Structure 1
Amino acid sequence: MSTPGPPRPLRADAARNRELLLRAAREMFAQRGLDVTLDEIARHAGVGVGTVYRRFANKEELVEALFDDQLDRMIALAEESLARADTWDGFAEMFRRFSALMAADHGLREVLLHNTYGHDRVARIRERFVPAMDAVVRRAQQAGVLRPDVEPTDLPIIETMLGGVEAFAQPVRPELYRRYLTIILDGMRARPGLTALPVAALTAEQFDELAGKR
């Protein structure tokens, strides 16, 4: 039995159409989230809908292809945070940049927080990203700069809250979420006299269960 060779490269016109589709999908998902249809993406790209299906079997395959790079960026943010000498600056800057990516890209927010598309691939990315994020949280707590009762599952919940602010203020002040991010970061910083949190954070299993139901 012969071994299949490497995949054949796309013809120039096929490669160009694929890039047009990815660019159109990136723009539309960022603005409107993942409810955009393949027909709408084809029109925005200036190609026929048949071209979409020749390049991608379904919308989930398109979403996975598009957000691979973005999801890898999230992992890189956590790794860069761990490399910073100032532990609090590393944690806070990771959170700010994470929030900026989510605010600018509604589709990315849905992929990461709502588990809408690309389930298997997002699960694999989470397997890499969650330990990196956990390491950032634990490092900041061990340094005494992050309150000890913060859990890694708190961070995506906070991003969901900030996403609500961004969506509410988008027509007038899309950057308003940064005000509340600063307030939240100040509330997460360790200091004397912290008020005890009245409810425990979600476990990783509870978070995955809730994300899968969105």
Structure 2
Amino acid sequence: MSVRADTSAAKPLRADAERNRRRIVDAARELFASRGIDITLDDVAAHAKVGVGTVYRRFSCKEELIDGVFEQRLVDMLENAERALAAEDPWDGLVQFLGDVCAGMALDRGLGDVVLGSDQGCHGIAQVRQRIDPFFAKIVERTRASGQLRPDIEVNDFYPILGMIGAAVEFSTSVDAQNWRRYFTVLLDGLRGDGVPLAELPGRPFTDAEVDVAKAALHRRRR
């Protein structure tokens, strides 16, 4: 007579493990969004209210956790790049893609770190980025060929440009989290190559008092 193994205890164990994994990923997502990826797995464990050992059993290093949180975000970015390349007007496609990236960075500080950072140890993110880069190169080449983008602008110029917007987001967030769009528009006008009229600036210049608030908040975040 065969004896069937009792698996009733294994199912709750697997369910608990999955719940813990979900809790860890959700906690990491919140911390990455507010503080960037320069946090520790101990920070994640504390925020998730689980033991540090639980985190290390699910993720052997922080890079694995970054992959788990951001790989899908980069897949979404790839889809945005595909739509931008298919846009009827090359300039509109470029602005659409850059605007989507910057809006994501404004909502999630960690995404900005991933976009502008290294893929070392983040194998899933690296694979998706290898698929995004050719699309973005084609977006830039098409816009330049149309005469709408300055002829001396290259693909790699956009990494410092995104860094500038990231700095504008960080500076503005304590006063008006959406006012980065004002400086985004200034940068776009500097990229135009066809002599079109300057775009109307969204947002507003900050008052002296608001500049002081923004400076103080920026100093606190960097201490």
Q: Which moved more, 1:16-25 or 1:115-124?
A: 115-124
Identical-pair percentage: 45
Structure 1 alignment gaps of length 5 or more: 1-8, 194-214
CA distance in 2 between partners of 1:118 and 1:183 (Å): 36
Instruction: State TM-score, norm by structure 2.
Output: 0.77
1:53 positional shift: 1.0
CA distance in 1 between partners of 2:183 and 2:119 (Å): 26
Q: What is the match of residue 111 of structure 1?
A: 114
Q: What is the match of residue 211 of structure 1?
A: none
Instruction: State TM-score, norm by structure 1.
Output: 0.80
Q: Which structure's CA Rg is the greater one?
A: 2
Q: What is the match of residue 168 of structure 2?
A: 165
RMSD, matched Cα = 2.0
Q: What is the match of residue 84 of structure 2?
A: 81
CA distance in 2 between partners of 1:120 and 1:134 (Å): 22
Q: What is the match of residue 59 of structure 1?
A: 62
The match for 2:151 among 148, 152, 171 is 148
The match for 2:191 among 180, 188, 204 is 188
CA distance in 1 between partners of 2:16 and 2:78 (Å): 33
Q: What is the match of residue 5 of structure 2?
A: none
CA distance in 1 between partners of 2:121 and 2:101 (Å): 20
Structure 2 alignment gaps of length 5 or more: 1-10, 197-223
Query: What are the residue-to-residue correspondences of 1:110-129 with 2, within 5 Å?
Result: 110-115=113-118, 118-129=121-132
Letter in 2 for 1:177: W
Letter in 2 for 1:96: G
1:171 positional shift: 1.3
Aligned length: 185
Summarize deviations over 1:30-50 as a string: whole Å, max 9, x none.
100112221221121122211
2:19 paired with 1:13: no
Q: What is the match of residue 176 of structure 1?
A: 179
**Which gives a bigger RCO, structure 1 or 2 (Cα 8 Å, sep 6+)?**
1
